[in-house]
Structure 1
Amino acid sequence: MKYRFLPLLLPLLLPLLSALLAACGGQPAAETAAAAPARPATGNPTPARPDEVTLSAAQQKAAGIETGPFQHQDLTTDVQATGSIEVPPQNQASVSAVLGGYVVRVNVLPGQPVRAGAILATLRSPEFITLQQNYLQSRARATFLAQELARQQVLDAEDVGAKRKLQQARADYASERAAVRAGAAQLRLLGLSVGRVNAGQIAASVPLTTPVGGTVKAVNINPGQYVSPQDVLVEVVNNSDLHLELKVFEQDVARVKVGQAILFTVRNRGSDEQFRARVFLVGKAFDDDARTVRVHAHLEPERADLLPGQFVAARIQTGAARQRTLPEAGLVQAGPLSYVFVQTGRAADGRATFRRLRVRTGASQSGNTAVVPLDPVPDTTRLVRRGAYFLAAELGKGQDAGGE
């Protein structure tokens, strides 16, 4: 009984059910459309790859984007080194007294030019007089012994004297002659004239002379001061043969050869002027503390305005190789690696797509830098030669928008 009215109600219920289903299904779709914000239309659609960016023709013109292939150039590879300007050991002298004495007079000042053999100071000591006295006494005794030897030779020839006396006379004369020669050498070492001493002119003071010519670097004495043989009284430096003494680290030594050119600057000089030198000696032993090798180089040309002891920063040009290069405006520095951009496509309306590549940079010369791509790149690839930082900024904007 309860189902007999169902056939009569179905025609009435079907339109009502259809209206309810339409109302329930359409209202959420409309709410979703209203709730979803409209995506703004941008000139740079998000590319399929995160390392790509697309620019319109107007954007490329405004940013000054220029493209082209690699350029191949012969670039020199450098070894960085530090050191100082020095002079050879034979061009500098630390002048000391042969015997201790008192300073009577000082004849030079620091910075004063002097010639080899010039008198720097005068010293006085009673010991100088004693040496001259001993020399004259030995000379007089040698004269007497020479006469005694002659008498013994005459007696021996006449078979009157004893052989022992002749032999003793010869030994005494030879011993005294040695004393005379030693005394004369001591006087010359002091700077005294043996001829004047032989003439009886005994000097109470001796001159202190320089063995090399050059410039007085330091004067460490004053009149009245007592000096001993171990004291350095005056320092003289000859700047006519300046050279570089550089310290090269262990990992770079194998690349340094005799004859290589060097460019260097002098620190604290007040200018960035570059000087030239050439390697003439590479050390064969390591310094134990810093694990460096000393490299010596001649200045080209000689410079009179440089001074020994000045610190320098040098670049040793170890060789030249043909390498791929890009202008600095085509590189983006980002920590230990750098980036370049490759043009991957161009549309009919002028829009172009660029992809970022990682590279390793090398030597720079005349505004161009050697680059080594970390992925294979043909020489004919069109790269961005100017405007790389603009592309990097645009790529950053796209990545930030994608992250939001």
Structure 2
Amino acid sequence: MKRIAILGSTGSIGTQTLEVVRENGDIEVLGLAAGSNITLLEEQIRQFHPRLAAVWSEEKAIELRTRIADTDTKVVSGMDGLIEVSILKDTEILVTAIVGMIGIRPTIEAIKAGKDIALANKETLVTAGHIIMPLAAEKNVSILPVDSEHSAIFQSLQGNEHKAIHKILLTASGGPFRGRTEEELLDIKVEDALKHPNWSMGQKITIDSSTMVNKGLEVIEAKWLFQVDVDQVQVIVQPQSIIHSMVEYVDGAIMAELGTPDMKLPIQYALYYPHRRYLPGERLDFYSLGRLEFEKPDMRTFYGLALAYEAGRAGGTLPTVFNAANELAVSQFLNRQIKYLEIMEIIEDCMQAHKNIENPTLQQILDTEAATYERINSRR
């Protein structure tokens, strides 16, 4: 039996990870952590019987303890609870599917405890890649990407030398507003931005996909995962989301991973790497597909992507500002406090105002996040 724990078990990646667990039957779930959805978490506890479950607030933890008093699962809360799940004895792999920079500390502690990381929390590497990757190497821990694009790159690298990479071709669907002008985005509503054409994802990442900020975060993440320069990562819009990403080698050969848009494939690949398992579901039919389309990203209208390249080149605390400003701006947009285009305006304002810190400590990263939030909140 392979033993895992999941941070963010009630979210999109977390629930699909548990579907993979259910379908395979040889994975034991030792720990689960969620934000506030204790109703779904209770269902998961009763089905998978983890030793430990964590929720963010102690109030919710008290309620959950009452609900599952007839089980053997211990319930903990807060950051200490997340860390307790992350370092749980006997766990081999930690699936980090929690959204936001809240995932950094639990990931660091899991690496220190020798756990392999199935990484779906891109903010961890975006803001603290200079801490995470050397620590993983020191502890001989594998960082296994769960994002569809990074999994595709990881798969395309198998059997090849890292020094032979010429560039990474990071694909993007273009989101629901591909091809629109800035004028056409002035009155975008929350409901419009949540209608992704290909993928079923959580609200935050769906908004990020629509602005292409998500692709910017993935560019910075790829820099750390695959030890390349930001400018070696080229974004290509592939509207059908069939090619999940590619690697071009120094001899001109390009390796790609193709498939239907299904997050369970990269999840399962990370959990069983280097082995492949049968995965039920729709298969890619090239006769029906007919052709594949490619476009250049519009980095003038969707300039959040251009800002990500700027942050990635600069390094230091600037990627933290980029990420934190986006997190809060997206939250405000979802709460209908700001307009759609203000998301990118807020990111740019925060980046321009920031005095960059090279090689920041974890505390400096967290302080930068807090200062960015404070600047945004002072606008209101």
State the TM-score bracket (shorter-chain normalisation). Answer: under 0.3
Scaled by the length of structure 2, the TM-score of the pair is 0.17
Q: Highest relative contact order (Cα 8 Å, sep 6+), 1 or 2? A: 1
Scaled by the length of structure 1, the TM-score of the pair is 0.16
Structure showing greater Rg = 1
More strand by share: 1
More helix by share: 2
